[in-house]
Amino acid sequence: MFEFNLTQIALCALDHVNDAGEPGGLPTDLYEVIGTTSDQFRDWFTRVCLYLVRTAGPVPAERTDETVVLGTEYGNTAALARLQREAATQGRRLSAQYFPNATSSSASAFVNMSIGATGRNMTLNAARLTPVLTLWQALVALDRGRSAGSRVLVGDVYSPEALLDAGLDTPDLACRSGLTHATFAAGREYRAEFDLHGGQEGAGVGDGQADGGSIELLRPGREAELQQPDQPYGRNTAFITADFLHLVRGLQPGEQARLSCRDRRRSATVTVTRQEESND
Report the C-alpha gap between 264 and 142 in whole angstroms. Answer: 31
Report the C-alpha gap between 192 and 271 in whole angstroms. Answer: 6
Quick check: is 280 in a domain? no
Each as own residue / partner, the long-range contacts of residues 81-90 (CB below 8 Å, 24 or more positions apart, any chain) are: 81/159, 81/161, 82/43
State which of 132, 161, 187 marks the end of a domain: 187
DSSP state, 101? Answer: G
Quick check: is 279 in a domain? no
- Whether residue 269 is found in the same domain as residue 176: no
Dihedral sign (CA 154, 171, 212, 133): negative
- Whether residue 195 is found in the same domain as residue 181: no
Angle at the Cα of 70 from the Cα atoms of 120 and 68, rounded to 5 degrees: 30
DSSP H stretches of helix in the chain: 30-34, 44-54, 77-90, 106-115, 130-143, 160-169, 238-249
- Whether residue 181 is found in the same domain as residue 197: no
What average pLDDT does the structure give for the chain? Answer: 88
Q: What is the pLDDT of residues 39-92, one digit of tens each?
A: 888 899 999 999 999 999 888 888 999 999 999 999 998 877 776 776 677 777
- Whether residue 225 is found in the same domain as residue 114: no
Whether the model clears a pTM of 0.85, i.e. scores above it, the answer is yes
Q: Say what the pLDDT of residue 98 is.
A: 63
State which of 166, 187, 208 marks the end of a domain: 187
- Whether residue 32 is found in the same domain as residue 168: yes
Instruction: Please compute the mean of the pLDDT values over residues 173-200 and round it to a whole number.
Output: 92
Report the C-alpha gap between 275 and 245 in whole angstroms. Answer: 16
Q: Tell me the HSE value of 30 on the side-chain side, using a 13 A CA sphere.
A: 16
Cβ–Cβ contacts within 10 Å for residue 32, how many? 10
Q: What is the pLDDT of residues 256-265, one digit of tens each?
A: 999 999 987 8
Domain hosting 206: range is 191-274
Instruction: Please compute the mean of the pLDDT values over residues 106-123 and round it to a whole number.
Output: 92
Quick check: is 98 in a domain? yes
Q: Say what the pLDDT of residue 205 is.
A: 41
Quick check: is 262 in a domain? yes
Q: What is the pLDDT of residues 236-252, one digit of tens each?
A: 999 999 999 999 999 99
pLDDT at 179 over 60: yes
pLDDT at 30 over 80: yes
- Whether residue 57 is found in the same domain as residue 84: yes
Residue 25 burial (C-beta neighbours within 10 Å; 0-12, 13-18, 19+): exposed
Each as own residue / partner, the long-range contacts of residues 31-36 (CB below 8 Å, 24 or more positions apart, any chain) are: 34/114
- Whether residue 182 is found in the same domain as residue 202: no
Q: What is the CATH number of the domain that holds 104?
A: 3.40.47.10
- Whether residue 120 is found in the same domain as residue 200: no
Instruction: Please compute the mean of the pLDDT values over residues 223-247 and round it to a whole number.
Output: 95
Identify the CA nearest to 244 among candidates 211, 275, 270, 205: 270
- Whether residue 144 is found in the same domain as residue 212: no
Identify the CA nearest to 191 among candidates 3, 10, 57: 3
Bridge-based pairing state of the strands 67-71 and 149-156: parallel
State which of 147, 168, 187 marks the end of a domain: 187
- Whether residue 134 is found in the same domain as residue 231: no
- Whether residue 163 is found in the same domain as residue 199: no
Number of domains in the chain: 2
- Whether residue 63 is found in the same domain as residue 160: yes
pLDDT at 145 over 60: yes
Give the confidence band of 197 by pLDDT, cuts at 50, 70, 90: confident
